[in-house]
């Protein structure tokens, strides 16, 4: 039970601070180019996940495939907190 409380508090604190999903950076592209690349990677991953045969967990497949796509483009995942 204490573990659940601690986990809940950590998640809540992260949400309150405005932490978002892992973003990507490569030190060369500006935010607009990074967002365009991510949108392209995410769209391709979603199209693949929702085309038969369907994966067991489409959300996980989209996350894994879009992350792999971004890494193939030279990006590294970064945790970004916005205020």
- Amino acid 18: pLDDT: 47
Q: What is the mean pLDDT of each run of 10 residues along the chain (83 residues)?
A: 64 50 78 91 96 93 95 87 55
Peptide bond into 53 cis (omega under 30): yes
- Amino acid 81: pLDDT: 61
- pTM of the predicted model as reported, rounded to 2 decimal places: 0.68
Chain-centroid distance of CA 44 in Å reads 14
Closest CA to 78 of 12, 20, 3, 9: 20
- Amino acid 71: pLDDT: 95
CA-based radius of gyration for the chain:
16
d(CA 4, CA 25): 33
- Amino acid 27: pLDDT: 83
């Amino acid at each position: 039970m204490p573990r659940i409380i601690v986990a809940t508090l950590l998640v809540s604190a992260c949400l309150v601070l405005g932490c978002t999903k892992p973003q990507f950076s490569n030190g060369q592209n500006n935010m607009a180019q990074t967002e365009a690349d991510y949108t392209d990677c995410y769209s391709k991953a979603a199209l693949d996940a929702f085309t038969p045969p369907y994966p067991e967990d489409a959300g996980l497949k989209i996350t894994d495939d879009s992350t792999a796509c971004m890494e193939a483009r030279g990006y590294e995942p970064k945790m970004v907190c916005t205020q």
